[in-house]
Amino acid sequence: MFFLQSDLSNSKTMIVQSVLKKMGLYNGKVNGVNNTNTEEAVKQFQSRVGIPMDGIVGPTTYKALEKYILGYTYYRIEANDTLTSIAEKNHSTVNLILSANKDIDPNNLNLNTVITVPFNYNLVMDDINYTYTAMWYNIMGLIQRYPFLDVSSVGNSVLGKELYLIKFGKGVKKIHINASHHALEWITSVFVMKFVESISRAYMNGEEIEGYNIRSLFNTHTLYIVPMVNPDGVDLVNEGLDPSNPYYNDLIRWNNTGRPFSEVWQANIRGVDLNHNYDAAWQESSNAGKAIGITGPGPTRYSGEFPFSEPETQAMRNLTNNEDFYLAIAYHTQGEVIYWNFMNLATQRDQDIGDILANASGYSLDTASGVSSYAGYKDWFIKDFRKPGYTVEVGKGKNPLPITQLPRIYEDNMRLILAATTVWCKL
Protein backbone atom coordinates (compact mmCIF):
# COMPACT_ATOMS: atom_id res chain seq x y z
CA MET A 1 0.00 0.00 0.00
CA PHE A 2 1.23 3.45 -0.83
CA PHE A 3 -0.80 6.32 0.46
CA LEU A 4 1.52 9.06 1.63
CA GLN A 5 2.64 11.66 -0.87
CA SER A 6 5.87 10.51 -2.46
CA ASP A 7 7.94 13.42 -1.11
CA LEU A 8 6.96 12.71 2.46
CA SER A 9 10.13 11.11 3.77
CA ASN A 10 10.39 8.35 6.31
CA SER A 11 11.40 10.88 8.97
CA LYS A 12 8.45 13.16 8.13
CA THR A 13 6.16 10.13 8.37
CA MET A 14 7.50 9.56 11.89
CA ILE A 15 6.63 13.14 12.79
CA VAL A 16 3.10 12.57 11.43
CA GLN A 17 2.70 9.34 13.41
CA SER A 18 4.09 11.01 16.54
CA VAL A 19 1.63 13.90 16.45
CA LEU A 20 -1.33 11.65 15.60
CA LYS A 21 -0.39 9.58 18.63
CA LYS A 22 -0.31 12.70 20.82
CA MET A 23 -3.80 13.53 19.61
CA GLY A 24 -5.01 10.05 20.54
CA LEU A 25 -5.74 9.11 16.93
CA TYR A 26 -2.93 6.60 16.40
CA ASN A 27 -1.73 3.80 18.62
CA GLY A 28 0.61 1.88 16.33
CA LYS A 29 4.39 2.05 16.21
CA VAL A 30 6.11 5.33 15.43
CA ASN A 31 8.43 3.84 12.82
CA GLY A 32 8.08 5.94 9.67
CA VAL A 33 6.49 3.03 7.85
CA ASN A 34 3.20 3.54 6.01
CA ASN A 35 0.61 1.10 7.25
CA THR A 36 -3.16 0.67 7.58
CA ASN A 37 -3.18 2.01 11.14
CA THR A 38 -1.54 5.22 10.02
CA GLU A 39 -3.94 5.57 7.11
CA GLU A 40 -6.92 5.12 9.44
CA ALA A 41 -5.49 7.71 11.85
CA VAL A 42 -4.97 10.16 9.00
CA LYS A 43 -8.61 9.65 7.93
CA GLN A 44 -9.82 10.33 11.48
CA PHE A 45 -7.68 13.46 11.60
CA GLN A 46 -9.08 14.62 8.25
CA SER A 47 -12.58 14.03 9.50
CA ARG A 48 -11.89 16.06 12.63
CA VAL A 49 -10.57 19.08 10.73
CA GLY A 50 -12.96 18.86 7.78
CA ILE A 51 -10.67 17.64 4.99
CA PRO A 52 -11.90 14.93 2.53
CA MET A 53 -11.04 11.58 4.11
CA ASP A 54 -8.64 9.98 1.66
CA GLY A 55 -6.02 8.88 4.22
CA ILE A 56 -3.32 10.64 2.21
CA VAL A 57 -1.01 13.21 3.78
CA GLY A 58 -0.96 15.68 0.90
CA PRO A 59 -0.09 19.37 1.24
CA THR A 60 -3.49 20.37 2.71
CA THR A 61 -3.47 17.62 5.33
CA TYR A 62 0.15 18.26 6.21
CA LYS A 63 -0.53 21.96 6.66
CA ALA A 64 -3.42 21.13 9.00
CA LEU A 65 -1.20 18.68 10.92
CA GLU A 66 1.53 21.30 11.35
CA LYS A 67 -0.67 23.24 13.75
CA TYR A 68 -0.72 20.23 16.06
CA ILE A 69 3.01 19.59 15.60
CA LEU A 70 3.64 23.20 16.65
CA GLY A 71 1.05 22.69 19.37
CA TYR A 72 -1.01 25.87 19.27
CA THR A 73 -3.86 27.61 17.50
CA TYR A 74 -5.18 31.14 17.28
CA TYR A 75 -8.53 31.95 18.85
CA ARG A 76 -10.78 35.00 18.51
CA ILE A 77 -12.42 35.90 21.82
CA GLU A 78 -16.24 35.67 21.73
CA ALA A 79 -18.93 37.13 23.98
CA ASN A 80 -19.21 35.37 27.38
CA ASP A 81 -15.82 33.65 26.98
CA THR A 82 -13.69 33.05 30.05
CA LEU A 83 -10.15 31.68 30.04
CA THR A 84 -11.56 28.46 31.48
CA SER A 85 -14.11 28.10 28.71
CA ILE A 86 -11.52 28.92 26.03
CA ALA A 87 -9.16 26.35 27.54
CA GLU A 88 -11.91 23.71 27.57
CA LYS A 89 -12.94 24.40 23.97
CA ASN A 90 -9.35 24.12 22.73
CA HIS A 91 -7.76 21.32 24.80
CA SER A 92 -5.63 23.89 26.60
CA THR A 93 -5.17 25.09 30.19
CA VAL A 94 -5.58 28.52 31.76
CA ASN A 95 -1.88 28.54 32.70
CA LEU A 96 -0.81 27.82 29.12
CA ILE A 97 -3.03 30.59 27.76
CA LEU A 98 -1.72 33.07 30.34
CA SER A 99 1.86 32.03 29.58
CA ALA A 100 1.44 32.44 25.82
CA ASN A 101 -0.32 35.83 26.04
CA LYS A 102 1.62 38.18 28.30
CA ASP A 103 -0.78 41.11 28.03
CA ILE A 104 -4.04 39.29 28.64
CA ASP A 105 -6.20 40.29 31.61
CA PRO A 106 -8.25 37.25 32.68
CA ASN A 107 -10.93 39.47 34.24
CA ASN A 108 -11.26 41.74 31.26
CA LEU A 109 -11.12 39.77 28.02
CA ASN A 110 -11.45 41.94 24.94
CA LEU A 111 -14.06 40.80 22.46
CA ASN A 112 -12.61 39.86 19.05
CA THR A 113 -9.01 39.92 20.23
CA VAL A 114 -7.01 37.05 18.73
CA ILE A 115 -4.96 35.10 21.26
CA THR A 116 -2.55 32.17 21.08
CA VAL A 117 -3.92 28.97 22.61
CA PRO A 118 -1.37 26.17 23.18
CA PHE A 119 -2.63 22.59 23.24
CA ASN A 120 -2.23 20.74 26.51
CA TYR A 121 0.41 18.17 25.57
CA ASN A 122 4.19 18.03 25.58
CA LEU A 123 5.74 19.11 22.30
CA VAL A 124 9.18 17.54 22.19
CA MET A 125 8.97 14.44 20.03
CA ASP A 126 10.63 11.80 22.16
CA ASP A 127 9.48 8.85 20.08
CA ILE A 128 11.10 9.53 16.70
CA ASN A 129 14.53 9.57 15.08
CA TYR A 130 15.08 13.24 15.79
CA THR A 131 16.01 15.56 12.91
CA TYR A 132 16.71 19.25 12.42
CA THR A 133 13.14 19.63 11.13
CA ALA A 134 11.73 18.00 14.27
CA MET A 135 13.85 20.26 16.47
CA TRP A 136 12.76 23.31 14.47
CA TYR A 137 9.08 22.46 15.03
CA ASN A 138 9.71 21.94 18.73
CA ILE A 139 11.61 25.21 19.17
CA MET A 140 8.98 27.18 17.26
CA GLY A 141 6.24 25.60 19.36
CA LEU A 142 8.03 26.09 22.68
CA ILE A 143 8.63 29.82 22.18
CA GLN A 144 4.90 30.34 21.61
CA ARG A 145 3.87 28.76 24.89
CA TYR A 146 6.98 29.79 26.86
CA PRO A 147 7.86 33.28 25.55
CA PHE A 148 10.38 33.69 28.38
CA LEU A 149 12.69 31.36 26.43
CA ASP A 150 15.21 33.38 24.44
CA VAL A 151 15.95 31.68 21.12
CA SER A 152 18.63 32.84 18.71
CA SER A 153 21.22 31.35 16.39
CA VAL A 154 24.98 31.28 17.00
CA GLY A 155 25.81 30.51 13.38
CA ASN A 156 25.09 28.18 10.51
CA SER A 157 26.12 24.67 9.59
CA VAL A 158 27.99 23.95 6.35
CA LEU A 159 24.59 23.43 4.65
CA GLY A 160 23.19 26.63 6.16
CA LYS A 161 21.06 25.26 8.98
CA GLU A 162 20.72 27.43 12.08
CA LEU A 163 22.79 26.49 15.11
CA TYR A 164 20.09 27.35 17.61
CA LEU A 165 20.81 28.69 21.07
CA ILE A 166 18.07 28.48 23.69
CA LYS A 167 18.55 30.61 26.78
CA PHE A 168 16.61 29.82 29.95
CA GLY A 169 16.91 32.27 32.82
CA LYS A 170 18.14 35.77 33.50
CA GLY A 171 20.71 35.13 36.18
CA VAL A 172 24.42 36.00 36.18
CA LYS A 173 25.53 32.40 36.68
CA LYS A 174 25.92 31.09 33.16
CA ILE A 175 26.08 27.40 32.35
CA HIS A 176 26.61 26.08 28.83
CA ILE A 177 25.15 22.81 27.59
CA ASN A 178 25.57 21.46 24.08
CA ALA A 179 24.53 18.25 22.31
CA SER A 180 25.07 16.33 19.09
CA HIS A 181 28.58 17.28 18.10
CA HIS A 182 28.47 13.71 16.82
CA ALA A 183 25.77 12.79 14.31
CA LEU A 184 25.02 9.29 15.60
CA GLU A 185 24.53 10.75 19.07
CA TRP A 186 21.34 12.67 18.17
CA ILE A 187 19.49 11.23 21.19
CA THR A 188 21.37 13.86 23.24
CA SER A 189 19.47 16.57 21.28
CA VAL A 190 16.15 15.01 22.23
CA PHE A 191 17.25 14.88 25.84
CA VAL A 192 18.23 18.56 26.07
CA MET A 193 15.08 19.66 24.22
CA LYS A 194 12.95 17.61 26.61
CA PHE A 195 14.85 19.14 29.52
CA VAL A 196 14.13 22.65 28.19
CA GLU A 197 10.44 21.79 27.94
CA SER A 198 10.31 20.35 31.47
CA ILE A 199 11.98 23.29 33.19
CA SER A 200 9.88 25.72 31.15
CA ARG A 201 6.66 24.00 32.21
CA ALA A 202 7.86 23.95 35.84
CA TYR A 203 8.69 27.65 35.59
CA MET A 204 5.23 28.44 34.22
CA ASN A 205 3.46 26.43 36.93
CA GLY A 206 5.77 27.54 39.74
CA GLU A 207 6.72 23.92 40.35
CA GLU A 208 9.83 22.27 41.72
CA ILE A 209 11.81 19.55 39.99
CA GLU A 210 13.64 17.18 42.33
CA GLY A 211 13.41 19.79 45.08
CA TYR A 212 14.83 22.57 42.88
CA ASN A 213 12.73 25.73 42.74
CA ILE A 214 12.77 26.46 39.02
CA ARG A 215 11.61 30.07 39.36
CA SER A 216 14.53 30.85 41.70
CA LEU A 217 16.84 29.03 39.33
CA PHE A 218 15.57 31.25 36.50
CA ASN A 219 16.57 34.34 38.49
CA THR A 220 20.00 33.18 39.58
CA HIS A 221 21.18 31.30 36.48
CA THR A 222 21.10 31.41 32.71
CA LEU A 223 21.33 28.11 30.88
CA TYR A 224 22.80 28.51 27.38
CA ILE A 225 21.72 25.44 25.46
CA VAL A 226 22.83 24.53 21.94
CA PRO A 227 20.72 21.44 21.29
CA MET A 228 22.23 20.41 17.93
CA VAL A 229 25.81 21.41 17.08
CA ASN A 230 25.90 19.16 13.99
CA PRO A 231 22.47 19.30 12.27
CA ASP A 232 23.83 18.33 8.83
CA GLY A 233 25.34 15.15 10.26
CA VAL A 234 22.24 14.30 12.29
CA ASP A 235 20.06 14.63 9.20
CA LEU A 236 22.45 12.49 7.13
CA VAL A 237 22.08 9.77 9.76
CA ASN A 238 18.31 10.03 10.18
CA GLU A 239 17.12 11.14 6.74
CA GLY A 240 19.74 9.51 4.53
CA LEU A 241 21.77 11.01 1.70
CA ASP A 242 19.69 13.06 -0.70
CA PRO A 243 20.96 13.40 -4.30
CA SER A 244 20.51 17.17 -3.99
CA ASN A 245 23.18 17.27 -1.29
CA PRO A 246 26.13 19.32 -2.67
CA TYR A 247 28.51 16.78 -1.10
CA TYR A 248 26.63 13.77 -2.51
CA ASN A 249 29.52 12.25 -4.47
CA ASP A 250 32.12 13.16 -1.84
CA LEU A 251 30.07 11.59 0.93
CA ILE A 252 29.73 8.32 -0.96
CA ARG A 253 33.49 8.30 -1.45
CA TRP A 254 34.26 9.34 2.12
CA ASN A 255 32.09 6.64 3.62
CA ASN A 256 34.37 3.73 2.83
CA THR A 257 33.04 1.54 5.62
CA GLY A 258 30.64 -0.46 3.46
CA ARG A 259 27.92 0.38 5.98
CA PRO A 260 25.10 2.91 5.77
CA PHE A 261 25.49 6.47 7.05
CA SER A 262 22.85 5.68 9.68
CA GLU A 263 25.28 3.29 11.36
CA VAL A 264 28.64 5.00 11.06
CA TRP A 265 28.51 8.75 10.42
CA GLN A 266 29.71 10.96 13.28
CA ALA A 267 31.26 13.88 11.37
CA ASN A 268 29.79 17.04 9.88
CA ILE A 269 28.80 17.08 6.21
CA ARG A 270 32.41 17.75 5.11
CA GLY A 271 33.65 14.65 6.92
CA VAL A 272 35.27 16.54 9.79
CA ASP A 273 34.75 15.16 13.29
CA LEU A 274 33.69 18.36 15.07
CA ASN A 275 34.78 17.07 18.46
CA HIS A 276 38.34 16.74 17.13
CA ASN A 277 38.41 20.16 15.51
CA TYR A 278 38.94 22.41 18.57
CA ASP A 279 42.23 24.10 19.30
CA ALA A 280 43.35 21.93 22.19
CA ALA A 281 46.17 19.53 21.35
CA TRP A 282 44.75 19.60 17.81
CA GLN A 283 48.07 18.48 16.26
CA GLU A 284 48.16 15.49 18.61
CA SER A 285 44.58 14.70 17.59
CA SER A 286 45.48 14.91 13.91
CA ASN A 287 48.59 12.76 14.39
CA ALA A 288 46.68 10.18 16.41
CA GLY A 289 44.14 10.00 13.59
CA LYS A 290 46.87 9.49 10.99
CA ALA A 291 48.38 6.73 13.14
CA ILE A 292 45.18 4.76 12.71
CA GLY A 293 44.92 5.54 8.99
CA ILE A 294 42.67 8.60 9.07
CA THR A 295 44.18 11.14 6.67
CA GLY A 296 41.12 12.89 5.24
CA PRO A 297 37.35 13.39 5.47
CA GLY A 298 35.39 10.39 6.67
CA PRO A 299 32.76 9.14 9.09
CA THR A 300 34.73 9.70 12.28
CA ARG A 301 37.89 11.05 13.91
CA TYR A 302 39.21 13.26 11.10
CA SER A 303 40.38 16.47 12.83
CA GLY A 304 40.08 18.71 9.77
CA GLU A 305 42.78 20.70 7.96
CA PHE A 306 43.37 23.02 10.89
CA PRO A 307 41.74 23.87 14.24
CA PHE A 308 38.35 25.56 13.90
CA SER A 309 38.23 24.86 10.17
CA GLU A 310 34.44 24.24 10.35
CA PRO A 311 31.62 26.77 10.72
CA GLU A 312 30.04 24.70 13.50
CA THR A 313 33.15 24.78 15.73
CA GLN A 314 33.73 28.44 14.84
CA ALA A 315 30.23 29.25 16.06
CA MET A 316 30.81 27.36 19.31
CA ARG A 317 34.12 29.17 19.78
CA ASN A 318 32.47 32.57 19.29
CA LEU A 319 29.62 31.78 21.67
CA THR A 320 32.01 30.56 24.35
CA ASN A 321 34.38 33.51 23.91
CA ASN A 322 31.52 35.99 24.18
CA GLU A 323 29.95 34.60 27.34
CA ASP A 324 31.45 33.99 30.73
CA PHE A 325 30.36 30.40 31.35
CA TYR A 326 31.36 29.12 34.75
CA LEU A 327 30.74 25.53 33.69
CA ALA A 328 30.19 23.66 30.42
CA ILE A 329 28.73 20.27 29.60
CA ALA A 330 29.08 18.64 26.18
CA TYR A 331 26.67 15.75 25.66
CA HIS A 332 27.71 12.57 23.87
CA THR A 333 26.81 8.87 23.92
CA GLN A 334 27.59 6.28 25.28
CA GLY A 335 28.97 4.69 28.46
CA GLU A 336 27.29 6.47 31.39
CA VAL A 337 30.54 8.21 32.19
CA ILE A 338 31.64 11.80 32.80
CA TYR A 339 35.08 12.86 31.52
CA TRP A 340 36.56 15.78 33.38
CA ASN A 341 40.26 16.55 32.80
CA PHE A 342 42.44 17.71 29.93
CA MET A 343 46.22 17.36 30.05
CA ASN A 344 46.16 17.89 33.80
CA LEU A 345 45.00 21.48 33.39
CA ALA A 346 41.86 20.89 35.44
CA THR A 347 42.04 21.26 39.19
CA GLN A 348 40.82 19.56 42.33
CA ARG A 349 37.81 21.90 42.21
CA ASP A 350 36.86 20.44 38.82
CA GLN A 351 37.21 16.88 40.07
CA ASP A 352 35.08 17.72 43.11
CA ILE A 353 32.37 19.20 40.89
CA GLY A 354 32.67 16.12 38.67
CA ASP A 355 31.97 14.00 41.74
CA ILE A 356 28.83 16.00 42.44
CA LEU A 357 27.63 15.46 38.85
CA ALA A 358 28.50 11.76 39.08
CA ASN A 359 26.58 11.37 42.32
CA ALA A 360 23.55 13.13 40.90
CA SER A 361 23.43 11.04 37.73
CA GLY A 362 24.78 7.70 38.89
CA TYR A 363 27.45 7.98 36.18
CA SER A 364 31.11 7.32 36.86
CA LEU A 365 33.77 10.03 36.75
CA ASP A 366 36.80 9.30 34.59
CA THR A 367 39.56 10.80 32.46
CA ALA A 368 39.68 10.16 28.72
CA SER A 369 42.70 8.60 27.07
CA GLY A 370 44.01 7.98 23.55
CA VAL A 371 42.64 9.67 20.45
CA SER A 372 39.41 10.73 22.13
CA SER A 373 41.29 12.85 24.68
CA TYR A 374 42.30 15.60 22.21
CA ALA A 375 40.70 18.57 20.49
CA GLY A 376 37.19 18.20 21.85
CA TYR A 377 34.93 20.99 23.06
CA LYS A 378 35.49 20.33 26.75
CA ASP A 379 39.26 20.04 26.20
CA TRP A 380 39.35 23.48 24.60
CA PHE A 381 37.01 24.92 27.25
CA ILE A 382 39.32 23.72 30.02
CA LYS A 383 42.47 24.83 28.19
CA ASP A 384 41.32 28.34 27.28
CA PHE A 385 39.13 29.22 30.25
CA ARG A 386 40.42 27.04 33.11
CA LYS A 387 36.88 26.43 34.25
CA PRO A 388 35.14 23.12 34.81
CA GLY A 389 34.19 21.44 31.53
CA TYR A 390 32.77 17.96 31.14
CA THR A 391 32.02 15.49 28.41
CA VAL A 392 29.01 13.48 29.52
CA GLU A 393 28.50 10.17 27.74
CA VAL A 394 24.87 9.13 28.19
CA GLY A 395 23.28 5.73 27.81
CA LYS A 396 24.72 2.32 27.12
CA GLY A 397 24.91 0.07 24.08
CA LYS A 398 25.79 0.64 20.45
CA ASN A 399 25.45 4.01 18.69
CA PRO A 400 23.00 5.22 17.64
CA LEU A 401 21.24 4.45 20.89
CA PRO A 402 17.58 3.55 20.43
CA ILE A 403 15.07 6.18 21.50
CA THR A 404 13.77 3.68 24.08
CA GLN A 405 16.77 4.67 26.26
CA LEU A 406 15.53 8.23 26.53
CA PRO A 407 13.50 7.96 29.77
CA ARG A 408 16.51 6.69 31.72
CA ILE A 409 18.86 9.20 30.06
CA TYR A 410 16.40 11.95 30.92
CA GLU A 411 16.11 10.97 34.59
CA ASP A 412 19.88 10.68 35.11
CA ASN A 413 20.84 13.85 33.29
CA MET A 414 18.04 16.10 34.47
CA ARG A 415 19.53 15.51 37.92
CA LEU A 416 23.04 16.09 36.60
CA ILE A 417 22.22 19.51 35.12
CA LEU A 418 20.28 20.60 38.19
CA ALA A 419 23.24 19.55 40.37
CA ALA A 420 25.51 21.69 38.17
CA THR A 421 23.48 24.72 39.24
CA THR A 422 24.43 24.14 42.89
CA VAL A 423 28.11 24.83 42.32
CA TRP A 424 29.73 28.14 41.54
CA CYS A 425 33.25 29.03 40.60
CA LYS A 426 33.93 32.66 39.93
CA LEU A 427 37.54 33.01 38.86
Please identify every residue annotated as catalytic: 374, 393
Closer Cβ to Zn ion, 1 or 292, answer by number: 292
User: Which is nearest to 356 in space by CA: 334, 388, 326?
Assistant: 388
Which whole-number Å values give the CA distances from 415 to 1, 45, 172, 358, 418, in the listed order?
45, 38, 21, 10, 5
Closer Cβ to Zn ion, 139 or 368, answer by number: 368
Angle (CA) 278 283 289, round 5°: 90
Which whole-number Å values give the CA distances from 12 to 19, 32, 49, 176, 363, in the listed order?
11, 7, 20, 30, 34
Q: How far, in Å, CA of 327 to CA of 386, rounded?
A: 10
Helix 132-145 / helix 59-70 crossing angle, nearest 10 deg: 50
* Residue 204: half-sphere exposure toward Cβ, Cα within 13 Å: 24
Burial class (CB in 10 A: 0-12, 13-18, 19+), 233: buried
145 binds Zn ion (CB under 5 A): no
Closer Cβ to Zn ion, 218 or 282, answer by number: 282
391, 381 Cβ separation under 8 angstroms: no
Terminal-to-terminal C-alpha distance of the chain: 63
Which residues ranging from 390 to 409 are in contact with Zn ion (CB under 5 A)?
A: none
Total of residues contacting Zn ion (CB under 5 A): 3
Closer Cβ to Zn ion, 4 or 357, answer by number: 357
Closer Cβ to Zn ion, 201 or 332, answer by number: 332
Q: How far, in Å, CA of 124 to CA of 195, rounded?
A: 9
User: Which is nearest to 412 in space by CA: 343, 322, 337?
Assistant: 337
Which residue in the set 332, 378, 387, 415 belongs to the binding site for Zn ion (CB under 5 A)?
332
Shortest distance (Å) from residue 22 CB to Zn ion: 30
Q: Which residue is nearest to Zn ion (CB)?
A: 332
Shortest distance (Å) from residue 156 CB to Zn ion: 22
Closer Cβ to Zn ion, 185 or 235, answer by number: 185
Residue 275 carries which DSSP code?
A: G
214 Rama sector, left if φ>0, alpha if ψ -120 to 50, beta otherwise? alpha
Which residues ranging from 150 to 209 are in contact with Zn ion (CB under 5 A)?
A: 182, 185
Task: Mark the segment that binds Zn ion (CB under 5 A) among 27-35, 58-66, 193-201, 326-334.
Answer: 326-334
Shortest distance (Å) from residue 329 CB to Zn ion: 13
Closer Cβ to Zn ion, 266 or 286, answer by number: 266
Q: How far, in Å, CA of 59 to CA of 109, rounded?
A: 35
Strands 72-76 and 114-118: antiparallel
Task: Say which amino acid occupies 378.
Answer: K
Shortest distance (Å) from residue 47 CB to Zn ion: 45
Shortest distance (Å) from residue 263 CB to Zn ion: 15
Q: Which residues contact 19 (CB under 8 A, 6 or more apart)?
A: 65, 68, 69, 125
Closer Cβ to Zn ion, 43 or 182, answer by number: 182
Shortest distance (Å) from residue 180 CB to Zn ion: 9
Shortest distance (Å) from residue 332 CB to Zn ion: 3
Shortest distance (Å) from residue 184 CB to Zn ion: 8
User: Which is nearest to 158 in space by CA: 137, 139, 132, 140?
Assistant: 132
* Residues making contact with Zn ion (CB under 5 A): 182, 185, 332
